Amino acid sequence: MFIGPLEVTSCHIYYHNAQHLDLEIREIITVNQWKKMEEVCDSSAAASSTVQNQPQDQEHPWPYLREFFSLSGVNKDSFKMKCVLCLPLNKEISAFKSSPSNLRKHIERMHPNYLKNYSKLTAQKRKIGTSTHASSSKQLKVDSVFPVKHVSPVTVNKAILRPTLRSKIAEAALIMKQKVTAAMSEVEWIATTTDCWTARRKSFIGVTAHWINPGSLERHSAALACKRLMGSHTFEVLASAMNDIHSEYEIRDKVVCTTTDSGSNFMKAFRVFGVENNDIETEARRCESDDTDSEGCGEGSDGVEFQDASRVLDQDDGFEFQLPKHQKCACHLLNLVSSVDAQKALSNEHYKKLYRSVFGKCQALWNKSSRSALAAEAVESESRLQLLRPNQTRWNSTFMAVDRILQICKEAGEGALRNICTSLEVPMFNPAEMLFLTEWANTMRPVAKVLDILQAETNTQLGWLLPSVHQLSLKLQRLHHSLRYCDPLVDALQQGIQTRFKHMFEDPEIIAAAILLPKFRTSWTNDETIIKRGMDYIRVHLEPLDHKKELANSSSDDEDFFASLKPTTHEASKELDGYLACVSDTRESLLTFPAICSLSIKTNTPLPASAACERLFSTAGLLFSPKRARLDTNNFENQLLLKLNLRFYNFE
């Protein structure tokens, strides 16, 4: 009996599914034919197994359908399934890997009696399991054998929960604040800077602390707070916030000065609750009380004093909050000089005409180069430098933008600037305008230099303020002889400096701070009146230090009691004379004069500018991004302080 290829395949199925064979068909085939069929089917099965990538070794894609279908092969996007109910016929159905819907259609069409059972099995929504046990074990081995030492495998790591992370941040912030408080408890004088900031429709008040190490004379700083401000920023709200922050870190009695900008609410807060105002009111009330007591005794009132209780309770004594001495931000004042006061030069018609013509062309260049990629490429093709666009909040950005135009003209030549203007369709500067632009930059360069000096944090003290401003005034005065168009600008700047810094040149403490720096001493000005104010302040405040030393060395109460009757020693005066005669200008030379060094640290602890607080807000802006606008304010403050005060906390 000849068996064709199709019959061989059928015989193969017939043989391997013998449990489903019909006994009547089995009797037709003889024993010899059966053996021959076995040999042919075995070879055919081996070939079929090779062609179909051994589907028997693969796991059933839908195990819950084993009683209806078996896997016969795998294609790229589908499985080849063989219907068990159709045996002995070889009925293959192609089903997509993502859905067995074709199998259901086959049951509906060919075996409707089994549809109900099929629906029950598929209702359980079992997932496709295409990965084998062997592949899973191999992946586990790869994850377990991690090549880097001291690094946990990925399968072992567990992501930290959000509440856990938040609590850990709060604990770390608490430890950091304790360390900052401990560090500030070791010094005698501390200065702070304060400012307000608004972002994502929320307002904050930021405070930074600064102090000088008495042993190394190095300045240290720390961020203290960035707290949410609710409601209007009145002077009482600001005073309460600053007072609470100082009390939280236990520095309320150590802060010698707070530097802020010239905002009206800040100014009023320090005017009402400042330590100087409270001292004046206290002295006035003490004198008034003394006068009242004297009058009462003269009238024979037996020493009994009567007060109106309601008037006393309603009276605002100014001690609700205790704020330190206030220092205006020098950089903010210089910004006002360079922007507001400099505009007064426009009263000169010749200067006004050139100014508007030059800066009109500059503004056109800045606008076009920043709004178009093609314009930026045109600038880059002519010069390796790009144009800078000024920032509305910082005056020195305008100077830097103008200086960049002059730098391009200097390095690449005037022809490059002409080509840039032609490409951007902006009129080229004529020779008079180029000269005006050069003079304007030369006039403003000393102002920008002083801004850079005063807004530093590590190597700048309050004593740098007056010498820097005085030298700025001298440099502007020398420019008068070399200017052709910008004389009105120099006059306006000089008038602005005189108006805004006049009270500082009359403050003996600020003058003394400059004298007590070895870099300046008394050589920074020729005005004897200014030097005399500072020297008088130094002598007055050096004598109490010397007097305290004598009291500490006294051995009896009588000597302590009558010590004020003794003539004061001249040790402090000798030390002051020795300091002024010393030729060394390093800050370490102060250590040779202990009394001078102590007073120098006290007067130079404050900063001349509040730029440190602005840098705090710059970091806060990076942290408080639009995607994190819903961050809780306490969590935001903790993260910000941990980022800024890294040296006070070790992350393990």
* CB neighbour list of residue 479: distance below 8 Å, 6 or more residues apart: 442, 443, 486, 490
Average pLDDT value over all residues in the chain: 79
Which pLDDT score, from 0 to 100, does residue 405 have? 93
User: Residue 10's CB: how many other CB atoms inside 10 A?
Assistant: 17
pLDDT in tens, 456-475: 888 899 999 999 999 999 99
CB-facing half-sphere around the CA of 501: CA atoms within 13 A: 28
Which pLDDT score, from 0 to 100, does residue 241 have? 94
pLDDT in tens, 588-598: 999 999 999 99
* Per-position DSSP letters for 576-605, written without gaps between them: HHHHHH----SGGGGGGSHHHHHHHHHHHS
pLDDT in tens, 521-530: 999 999 999 9
Q: What's the pTM value of the predicted model, to 2 decimals? A: 0.69
> What is the layout of strands, in order, in the sheet containing 325-328?
219-229, 202-212, 190-199, 255-260, 325-328
Stronger pLDDT, 124 or 599, i.e. the higher one: 599
What is the rounded distance in angstroms from the CA atom of residue 332 to the CA atom of residue 326? 14
CB–CB of 273/320 below 8 Å? Answer: yes
User: Residue 560's CB: how many other CB atoms inside 10 A?
Assistant: 13
CB–CB of 249/184 below 8 Å? Answer: yes
Planar angle of CA 516, 520, 521, nearest 5 degrees: 50
Which pLDDT score, from 0 to 100, does residue 144 have? 52
Q: What is the CA radius of gyration of the chain?
A: 44
Stronger pLDDT, 539 or 569, i.e. the higher one: 539
| 458-476 core/surface letters (b: 16 or more CB in 10 A; e: else) | eebbbbbbbbbbbbbeebb
Which pLDDT score, from 0 to 100, does residue 521 have? 92
Q: What percent of the chain has pLDDT over 90?
A: 46
Q: Quickly state the pLDDT bin for 284 (edges 50, 70, 90).
A: very low
- Least confident range from 59-68, 160-169, 359-368, 467-476: namely 59-68
> What is the layout of strands, in order, in the sheet containing 92-96?
69-74, 78-83, 92-96
Stronger pLDDT, 305 or 604, i.e. the higher one: 604
What is the rounded distance in angstroms from the CA atom of residue 232 to the CA atom of residue 269? 14
Can you give the residue ranges of every domain in the chain?
Answer: 5-122, 172-291+610-648, 331-502, 506-555+568-609
Handedness of CA 158, 163, 169, 172 (dihedral sign): negative
pLDDT in tens, 397-439: 899 999 999 999 988 888 999 999 999 999 999 999 999 999 9
* CB neighbour list of residue 87: distance below 8 Å, 6 or more residues apart: 13, 17, 20
What is the rounded distance in angstroms from the CA atom of residue 29 to the CA atom of residue 41? 15
DSSP three-state, residue 197 = strand
Q: What is the 3-state secondary structure (H, E, C) of 53-99?
A: CCHHHCCCCCHHHCCCEEEEEECCCEEEEEECCCCCCCCEEEEECCC
Best-predicted range by mean pLDDT (72-76, 119-123, 502-506):
502-506
Residue 130 has pLDDT above 50, yes or no: no
- Cα-flanking dihedrals φ and ψ of residue 260, to 5°? -140, 175
Say how many residues make up the chain. 652
Which pLDDT score, from 0 to 100, does residue 5 have? 42
| Both structure tokens of 534 | 């500072």
Closest among 65, 46, 64 to 56, alpha carbons compared: 46
Whose tokens are 């807004």? That residue is: 455
| Both structure tokens of 112 | 């409707």
CB–CB of 212/218 below 8 Å? Answer: yes
pLDDT in tens, 315-369: 444 456 789 999 999 999 999 999 999 999 999 999 999 999 999 999 999 999 8
* CB neighbour list of residue 189: distance below 8 Å, 6 or more residues apart: 211, 212, 254, 256, 601, 602, 605
Whose tokens are 């770390």? That residue is: 172
pLDDT in tens, 18-49: 444 443 444 444 444 444 445 544 444 444 44
Closest among 583, 333, 326, 324 to 468, alpha carbons compared: 333
CB–CB of 448/472 below 8 Å? Answer: no
Whose tokens are 């040790």? That residue is: 571
Q: Which fold has domain 172-291+610-648?
A: Nucleotidyltransferase; domain 5 (3.30.420)
Distance of alpha carbon 73 from the chain centroid: 60
Which stretches of 89-148 are assigned E, i.e. beta strand?
92-96
User: Residue 165's CB: how many other CB atoms inside 10 A?
Assistant: 12
Long-range contacts of 174-178, Cβ-Cβ distance < 8 Å, separation of 24 or more: 175/649, 176/641, 176/642, 176/645, 176/648, 176/649, 177/248, 177/249, 177/641
CB-facing half-sphere around the CA of 331: CA atoms within 13 A: 26
Burial of residue 418 (number of CB atoms within 10 Å: 0-12, 13-18, 19+) = middle
CB–CB of 61/79 below 8 Å? Answer: yes
CB–CB of 58/71 below 8 Å? Answer: yes
Stronger pLDDT, 67 or 153, i.e. the higher one: 67
